Chain A
Amino acid sequence: MKKPLEVLVVEDNAGDARLLREMFSKEKPGSFNLTHLLRMSEALVHLQKGGVDIVLLDMGLPDGHGLDTVRRAQAVAPGVPVIVLTGLDDEALAAEAMKEGAQDYLIKGQIESRALPRALRHAIERHRMQAETELLRINQLQFKDNFLSHVSHELRSPLNAIYQFVTILLDKLVGDLNSEQREYLEIVFRNVKQLQAMIHDLLEVTRGQDGKLAIELQATLVGDAIVDAVDTLQGAAVLKEIVLSTQVALDLPRVCADPTRLRQILIILLDNAIKFTPPNGAVKVRAQLLEGDTNQLLLQVSDNGSGISEGMTEQIFERLFQASDPAQAGRQGLGLGLHICKELVLRQGGRIWATSTPGEGAVLSVTLPVFSMRNLLAPMLKATNGAPGPMMLLIAQVVSPAGWVSDAARAEHSQWARELLRRCMHSEQDVLLPKMGSAGAAELFFVAVATDPKGCESLTRRIRQQFDERELTQKAGLVLSTSCHSVETAQQNRDNPRGASFEWVTAMFQTLVNEELSSRIAANG
């Protein structure tokens, strides 16, 4: 015999609940098993235990309201379909609930008793099919990524052999070349380089899908990245007689980004612009604060090439997108560049979009969050509601006494330490600041904590304990040192009778960080 369906009814109105119960009572015994609860809190506990096949959820409970009830139910039991119960005047809300993932909605007073069990069975079936389709899709994507990653790795060795011997010939290590031989070898070389770049892109994309793309956010100067990227592509621009120019606003604030990745983004955008701009064209990089939102920095790469066809401005960021006119694009690559670019921008909290007038050129725009101590500390300062209590700055320093094997190893360990610190922090208001700089062999981490010296000490103990327990600490021979610093928050004067202001506390934190950074750089070299 089939197992009865376990139905959880969450409904605080006794009348509504009784009606539902009656509808089920007409069903064959043993086909449904009803559990009726009055509160969201009880429902969550019940869902957590598992075993529920479907939830009938009222959206107006004493301890839960509207879409929030749906979200909470799904957070606890993501695999269980939810049907929401609403009043006649709440149909719009019900539709919203379906967008949040509810399977269906039923309007109280309009539920047909015969139709209810069928609606339930359908909802369960539909939910099961959706889950299966999603799983299938994820598996296929995973398979494709594994396949791509494997193939790319395998292609590298033979390609590397070609590269090595072509360069041996071109470098004249085994004798002179005549001009025709040299010319043809240069063509081989150029194509090998293109293949290498394609394989690199493929590996980068599969890494992005795995979440293995390392990004280390820090206060970064956009101007430096622009100069680097323009330097890298100046040669390509000169070859096509394209004028490459920059226009960077003065006194731009730093952004919160990974400098290597920012450079990579700019190189992809510039490379792309140069590709799609005819000889004698112009490509321009601009950087300024975003109009209307000074918390965002706007980077734009514009060209006066063929532009992007209408309706394609979003598709160009899709994976494997190729320009539809192959003559125009030439043999240019895999169509991964802009996709990688988008991944990188999104992972750094920015946005990317394209605008274009066909025939007149295109503008690719990227925003990145401005590095602002005030914004970073805002959650903590807001929580104190304008009357800040004691605040501390905890500084953790992680050193590899033998030095770091490479920049990659340093970044990896730094990421690891950052994760460890994050897990040790208990209060949601406390802020682990992004990388502010490093001093010699030391990686420095700053945590702003809304607590007194005692609280800071106990956090320190927690961090030390976690750090000492980790295997990596010993394996890599990492050494941790910490210190706690009180932040002056009691600035009371005539202008500011209630105590320290947002700006004041922010400035105090910034000063402390700067002082620590410069003294440690001086000490560690």
Chain B
Amino acid sequence: MANKKILLVDDDPDVRLAMHVRLKANGYDTAFASDALSSVSEARKQQPDVIILDLGLPGGDGFTVIERLKRHPSLAVIPIIVVSGRGVSGNQERAIKAGAKVYLQKPVDNIELLAIIRQTLGEPEQPGDSDVTGNWKLFA
């Protein structure tokens, strides 16, 4: 079976690289985008299984990206995990209303992020996963 593909949207190349290394080690393929505009075109080209999205992006913030993705029938179904340095207050609700599945505040614990990716993709839980995902309710 082919690896699941994750699109990483973040304007910080260090963040993209670190996530890429960690995700690859866990059996995922990755694709990248660094700004609002290219993230939508990249999503269309790559058809990822999950999008991990930062909110502060050049050329429009993450909220606009979510809205644009949700306008494309083929992209609207891709689950979005927002990972942002911005506080939960206000941003979380806005992101979820716009259609994101989970809102995580940076710095994100790697174990937690992987557990949430597995849960989002409907993959089998690994030991310890429910300890972290129990705190998060995923939205359809």
Contact = CB atoms under 8 A, between A and B. Distances in A.
Interface of A: 153, 156-157, 160-161, 163-165, 167-168, 171, 173-174, 196, 402-409, 412, 475-476
B85 interface: yes
Interface residues on B, range: 20 to 34
Nearest to A413: B93
Contact of A405 (B18, B96, B107, B110): B96
Given A173-B21, A196-B107, A475 B93 contact: yes
B107 A163 contact: yes
Given A156-B107, A167-B110, A405 B137 contact: yes
Contact of A157 (B85, B96, B136): B85
Contacts of B92: 405-406, 408-409
Contacts of A174: 21
Nearest to B140: A402
Given A406-B137, A409-B93, A168 B18 contact: yes
A475 B97 contact: yes
24 contacts: A156-B85, A156-B106, A157-B12, A157-B85, A157-B106, A160-B106, A161-B12, A163-B107, A164-B14, A164-B15, A164-B18, A168-B18, A168-B21, A168-B22, A196-B107, A405-B93, A405-B139, A406-B88, A406-B103, A406-B135, A406-B136, A409-B92, A412-B89, A475-B97
Closest 9 CB pairs of A and B: A164-B18, A161-B14, A173-B25, A160-B107, A403-B137, A408-B88, A405-B96, A168-B21, A405-B92
From B22, B107, B139, name the one whose CB has the most chain A CB atoms within 10 angstroms: B107
A412 B107 CA distance: 21
Contacts of B103: 405-406
Contacts of A167: 110
A207 to B, nearest CB: 10
Contacts of B136: 406
B15 A161 contact: yes
Given A161-B18, A164-B18, 10 more contacts: A156-B107, A160-B15, A165-B18, A168-B21, A171-B25, A173-B25, A174-B21, A196-B107, A406-B137, A408-B89
Contacts of A171: 25
Contacts of A160: 15, 106-107
A406 B110 CA distance: 18
A282 to B, nearest CB: 32
Interface of B: 12, 14-15, 18-19, 21-22, 25, 85, 88-89, 92-93, 96-97, 103, 106-107, 110, 135-137, 139
B107 A404 contact: no
A227 B44 CA distance: 51
A509 B122 CA distance: 46
B112 to A, nearest CB: 12
Contacts of A173: 21-22, 25
Contacts of B110: 164, 167
A278 B93 CA distance: 48
Given A156-B107, A157-B85, A163-B107, A407 B135 contact: yes
A57 B25 CA distance: 78
Nearest to A159: B107
Given A161-B14, A475-B93, A476-B93, A409 B88 contact: yes
Contacts of B107: 156, 160, 163, 196
Nearest to B106: A160
A161 B107 CA distance: 10
A404 B138 CA distance: 10
A404 B137 contact: yes
Contacts of B22: 164, 168, 173
Contacts of B21: 168, 173-174
Contacts of B12: 157, 161
B75 to A, nearest CB: 22
A494 to B, nearest CB: 54
B94 to A, nearest CB: 9
Nearest to B89: A412
From A156, A168, A406, name the one whose CB has the most chain B CB atoms within 10 angstroms: A406
A168 B110 CA distance: 10
Contacts of A407: 135
A458 to B, nearest CB: 32
A443 to B, nearest CB: 15
Nearest to B105: A408
A165 B13 CA distance: 13
A153 B12 CA distance: 15
A165 B18 CA distance: 6
Contacts of A405: 92-93, 96, 103, 137, 139
A168 B26 CA distance: 12
A153 B93 CA distance: 21
A173 B110 CA distance: 13
Contacts of A402: 139
A223 to B, nearest CB: 22
Nearest to B96: A405
Contacts of A406: 88, 92, 103, 135-137
Contacts of A408: 88-89, 92
B12 to A, nearest CB: 7
Nearest to B88: A408
A424 B14 CA distance: 51
A406 B15 CA distance: 24
B55 to A, nearest CB: 13
A225 B93 CA distance: 30
A174 B93 CA distance: 37
A202 B136 CA distance: 27
A425 B110 CA distance: 46
